[in-house]
Structure 1
Amino acid sequence: MTGKRRYRVIQWATGNVGSRALRTVIEHPALDLVGLWVSSDDKRGKDAGDLAGLAPCGVIATGSIDDLVAMDADCVLYMRQGTDIDELCRLLASGKNVVTTRGDFHHPPSMDAAMRDRIEAACRTGNSSIYSTGSSPGFVTEALPIPLLSLSRRLDCLTIDEYGDVSSRNSPDLLFNIMGFGRAPSAFDPRQLEHVKSDFAGSLAQLADAAGIVIDSWDVVGEMGAATRDIVIAAGIIPAGTVAAQRITVSGMRNGKPVLRFRANWYCSREIDQPDWRLRESGWRVRVEGDTPVEVDIRFPVAPEDYAAFTPGLTAHRAVNAVAAVCDALPGIRTTADMPQVIAQL
């Protein structure tokens, strides 16, 4: 972290990632939790420490936006479901910097013009900044590729493969209703492709701008892998012939060829009718093809039964570690490419 002072932080929401961030802020040596916003009635009025599984800390959860906007704080860790632009503009205009795991601010030129104007006006009013980050998109699409490309003078293609084994995740609504596992391949919702494209194309576009890579267009392709037999996972059953794996590829194209590419390989089983996918355990593989080819392979040495406790930190911790850098940054919508490196103070 940059600077030597302490930072007063409001945690906004306590979902899967927000709860991990809340605990991390309470335990952090240079951060002071001063406020907590929650969406559910059963959490309001409770001590933040109790909600984080720690000793009481004296910060009481509230659903009052007015109270938190009026509060004296340096930064808000904004981790709610959905992005409320009115809410964010009020926070920024009140002088509070924002670090968010929402994917709306990775590439300001790609944003809706009216939304961008409102956010930038709020930042000018409050002399504040906002930064989108996380593990993916964020770390693996920006923070890691930037130093890898520093070894190159010619790039032919950068490919980021993400492997996510979700078989141990006991979240039936997420897996079956939102992600589309267990459905007939023909019934897959194409809106999911656009959602993945919007998050990852924006992040990769930031990388392209920073490195001077010209992109003609951004494409997205979805492929489904059907289970070869009935598969039992933590969330239920994947019947044979239904979607057990999906591969969504977002590509930045130049002259008809991909030059920047993110490929999400998310699966409930490797027993699928797509053996050439060569699915492997969860993690990332980043491959740089060009005049200085390199490949980085990242795996998580964690037992599958411990994934639920481990994975929220991948996203939450980078956001928490970015608080000081964002508070010290120039006002406006900030990106990984224009800020100092995020360094954890452990």
Structure 2
Amino acid sequence: MTAAQARTGDKNCRVVQWATGNIGLRSLRAIIEHPKLSLAGLYVYSDAKAGCDAGELCGLPPVGVRATRSIDDILALKADCVLYMPQTIDVDDLCSLLESGSNVVTTRTEFHHPARLDRAVRERIEAACRRGGTSLHSTGSSPGFITEAMPLVLLSLQRRLDVLRIHEYADCSSRDSPEMIFNIMGFGQAPNPQAEAGRAWYLREEFGPSLRVIAEAVGLSFDSVESSGQVALARKRTTIAAGVVEAGTVAAMRTTVSGMRNGKPLMSFTANWFVSYDIDADWKLRGDGWQVEVEGDCPLDMHLHFTVPEARKAATTPGYTAHRAINAVRYVCAAAPGIRTSVELPQIVTDLSAQA
């Protein structure tokens, strides 16, 4: 399928939204409002949401589609695609969806580089795709857009690559979630080497596969993928939306995932997450967004800043992840059966005809 065909095809894709967290609710709203997608069903994990109208759950008028907690209800719909966005994957559910004839687009990160999957799991999913004639694709903003789509465009100018660096900046000070900020992420806590090592391992698993698929796409490879992390401390007592960060506790964290080649980083992703700019390290923090540096025979330094006002940040930022998945639906439905990567799909072009 070409980009033009994906945007102008007459057939509306019947889509199921699976899960309604922050990203899932934004995805649900986008499906309902999309000119060439129709909401076929909604799967939820909460008993309180079961039976509720999908439109009302995401702040829209009723649409006549009721949420369900039964996968059998979803399988019976025979939808073209499922937007699969749970907190953890269930391989049984996933294979049932694919085998039933529904393609899957997911914001889960397990499938960016299929070769890194457990062999038995991969073979099981691929077999389900073959039986259902379906495909599975992982995407989102990070990893996804900034670690795959954007690098592919920038690398199209190069005939020699020395290093590709991706920096992510996230100011978490306006997030009013004490459990997430203090207990899960570890801001406002004393430095904890074990937690830093755990975060480095986690991000290596999240971003390493995405970097690998891009390296392989341009004919290169990594000898290994390594990760490391460090923290910076608040210089003074600081009040943020979630509470108070005392002086001398963690106010910023930096984690780098590097694809190594010949003893040096060839591609890297660095997450800079923070709740204060006033820290005891010279990290040159900037507002929410990304920086991509390319060193090669056509050097580049690109900055993408999120220009969302603080008052609209919570409502807007889920779209950065959800919308790329929505825009990928038609391409994934047209793809060959199997787990498909960003490299294997056409360039994803959005359809904005609803606002015309």
* Shared fold per TM-score greater than 0.5: yes
1:39-78 to 2 correspondence within 5 Å? Answer: 39-78=45-84
User: Where does residue 269 of structure 1 map in the other structure?
Assistant: 276
Alignment match of 2:90 (pick from 68, 78, 84): 84
Partner of 2:157: 151
Matched to 1:332, the amino acid is: G
2:304 is aligned to 298
Structure 2 unpaired stretches of 5+: none
Between the aligned partners of 1:73 and 1:195, the Cα distance in structure 2 is: 33
Q: Is the 8 A contact 2:212 2:221 kept in 1?
A: no
The DSSP-based 3-state class of the residue aligned with 2:67 is coil
Residues 1:253 and 2:260 are matched in the alignment: yes
Say yes or no: does 1:122 pair with 2:125: no
Matched length: 345
CA shift digits 1:1-29 (9 cap, x unpaired):
61332100000000000000000100100
Write the deviation string for residues 18-49 of structure 1: whole angstroms up to 9, x where unpaired: 00000010010000001000111111110001
The root-mean-square deviation of aligned C-alpha atoms, in Å, is: 1.0
Q: Any gaps of 5 or more consecutive residues in structure 1?
A: none
How many Å separate the matches in 2 of 1:141 and 1:186? 28
SS in 2 for 1:174: helix
Letter aligned with residue 52 of structure 2: K
Distance 2:204 2:41 in 1: 34
One-letter amino acid matched to 1:68: I
Q: What is the TM-score when the length of structure 2 is the normalising length?
A: 0.95
Deviations 1:175-228 (A, max 9, x none): 112211111112551322211111100100010110111211100000101111
Q: TM-score, normalised by structure 1?
A: 0.98
Matched, 1:197 2:211: no
Q: C-alpha separation between the residues in 2 aligned to 1:72 and 1:91?
A: 9
Contact 1:168 1:305 in 2 (8 A): no
What is the distance in 2 between the residues matched to 1:192 and 1:125? 38
| C-alpha displacement of 1:302 | 1.6
Please give the alpha-carbon distance, in whole angstroms, between the structure 2 residues aligned to 1:120 and 1:210: 21
Q: Which residue of 2 aligns with 1:240?
A: 247
Percentage of matched positions with identical amino acids:
56
Rounded to whole Å, the distance in 1 between the matches of 2:73 and 2:194 is 43
SS of 1:17's equivalent?
helix
Q: What's the counterpart of residue 221 of structure 1?
A: 228
Matched, 1:324 2:330: yes
- Structure 2 residue aligned with 1:185: 191
- In 1, the alpha carbon distance for the partners of 2:247 and 2:124 equals 49
* Residue correspondence of structure 1 range 302-317 to structure 2 within 5 A: 302-317=308-323
Task: Find the residue that maps to 1:252 and give its secondary structure.
Answer: strand
Amino acid at match of 1:178: I
> How far did residue 334 of structure 1 move?
0.5
Matches of 1:229 and 1:235 in 2, distance apart? 16
3-state DSSP of counterpart to 1:156 = strand
- 1:195 and 1:131 map into 2 onto residues whose CA distance is 21
Runs of at least 4 residues off by over 6 Å: none
Q: Which amino acid aligns with 2:49?
A: K
Amino acid at match of 1:291: D
Out of 206, 212, 219, the residue aligned to residue 212 of structure 1 is: 219
